[in-house]
Amino acid sequence: MSEKKNILVTGGAGFIGSHTCIELLQAGYGVVVVDDLSNSSEKAVDRVRSIVADAAKEGKAPADAAESIVFYKENVLDRAALERIFDAHDIYGVIHFAGYKAVGESVEKPLEYYHNNLVNTLVLCDVMRERGCKNIVFSSSATVYGEPDSVPLSESAPKKPATNPYGWTKWMIEQILTDLSVADPAWNIVLLRYFNPIGAHESGLIGEDPKGIPNNLVPYVAQVAIGKLPAVRVFGNDYDTPDGTGVRDYIHVVDLARGHVAALNWMADKHGVEVVNLGTGKGSSVLDVVAAFSRACGRELPVDIQPRRAGDVAENYADPRKAEEVLGWKAEYDLDRMCADSWRWQSMNPNGYAE
């Protein structure tokens, strides 16, 4: 791995992290994964190796891609562990995914969310500074825009007070990294604001694997499709939207992963902080998603119209122009492809990574 630029991927065994590892390896980077497996499985890392080994046989990845990823079961809060990893590898840059991410849970457990998400970032940046590594891509979220005044949302839209501790941690970490850049302009920082990541790698070997009953729409729909859950709960059909249900900007997780590689490539000769939305620029309603997933799984999925969910906004989708102008990146996959890939993952792995 010495001749490659090595990227430390915190939370790299997770849904977005594992997909990003594949794109990094295929792009010729070395990958060092740090994940405490509190909300993920090491099987995802094994499957990443398998996927890139197959890609290498087809000439779609470097021959040594599968040997260019190492995994450490560590918590980013553990400074000594991070220092050992930086001692063992010449780290060019970091993609920071590690963090708790359940909106509802964050309301019940604010101290755990603030401690884990904020302190792990402070420890990470301190060790990076100590070791002279000043390239970081941060997994942020469109949640920092709060209730949008208008859509589509561009990066110039004002950040709004978050509606939950999870959202505040994203908001605050963006501020921490921005202040770090002011103090030391040598830092290269890209804040990627995700809209709604869904889908799975086309192999069906990795995908979203939430614990318990899914909070998010698509993993819930996928479990209805395999018969684990009886019907799709539609949280409100009285919004001011075309069909009355909530509208979001769903983006394929592989497109999202490729946005991270584009951000790393872009920052090679840059300094300072850049904020970039990662979305498709297209809004889809809850019923659009149910229809697309029904097409993917080959049967009409039952829905149950329920009251609105507290904290939900009517619609939210990106103005994706800056990502294309600055990073040269644009989402490629449509909703049908997202649902087809999600269905393949779910039907091949009805219990996710569990046996």
Q: Which residues are catalytic?
A: 166
Q: Which residue from 309, 314, 308, 313 is spatially nearest to 236, judged by alpha carbons?
A: 308
Taking the complex as a whole, the smallest distance from the CB of residue 215 to ligand WQD amounts, in Å, to 6
Q: How far is the CB of 313 from ligand WQD (least distance, A)?
A: 8
The residue count for binding ligand WQD (CB under 6 A) is 18
Subset of 247-266 contacting ligand WQD (CB under 6 A): 248
| Whether 140 contacts 97, CB under 8 Å | no
Is the Cβ of residue 141 or residue 349 nearer to ligand WQD in the bound state?
141
Assess 286 for contact with ligand WQD (CB under 6 A): yes
Q: What is the DSSP letter of 124?
A: H
Report if residue 141 touches ligand WQD, rule: CB under 6 A: yes
Interatomic CA distance for residues 65 and 25, integer angstroms:
6
Is 234 a residue that touches ligand WQD (CB under 6 A)? yes
Interactions with ligand WQD, residue window 176-205 (CB under 6 A): 194, 196
Shortest CB 273 distance to ligand WQD, Å: 20
Residue 217 interacting with ligand WQD (CB under 6 A): yes
Q: Is 163 in the site for ligand WQD (CB under 6 A)?
A: no
Per rule CB under 6 A, is residue 27 in the interface with ligand WQD?
no
Indicate the residue among 15 and 187 with the shorter CB distance to ligand WQD: 15
With contacts defined by CB under 6 A, name the span among 24-32, 144-152, 227-235, 267-275 that binds ligand WQD.
227-235
Q: Tell which one of 220, 266, 293, 345 touches ligand WQD (CB under 6 A).
A: 220
Give the rounded distance of the alpha carbon of 183 from its chain centre.
28
144 DSSP assignment: G
Q: Within 13 Å, how many C-alpha atoms sit on residue 88's CB side?
A: 14
In the DSSP assignment, the letter for residue 318 is B
143 in contact with ligand WQD (CB under 6 A): yes
Binding mask 295-314 for ligand WQD (x = CB under 6 A): --------------x--x--
Measured over all CA atoms, what is the biggest interatomic distance in the chain, rounded to whole angstroms?
57
Closest separation between CB of residue 232 and ligand WQD, Å? Answer: 7
Q: Yes or no: say if 69 and 21 are a contact pair by the CB < 8 Å rule.
A: yes
DSSP letter string over 19-69? HHHHHHHHTT-EEEEE---SSS-HHHHHHHHHHHHHHHHTTSS-TTGGGSE
**Looking at the chain, how many residues does it have?**
355
The residues that bridge with 96 in the sheet, in sequence order, are: 10, 138
Q: DSSP assignment, residue 115?
A: I
CB of 65 to ligand WQD, least distance (A): 28
Q: With contact defined as beta carbons under 8 Å apart, do 4 and 264 qualify?
A: no
Interface positions with ligand WQD (CB under 6 A): 101, 103, 141, 143, 194, 196, 215-217, 220, 233-235, 246, 248, 286, 309, 312
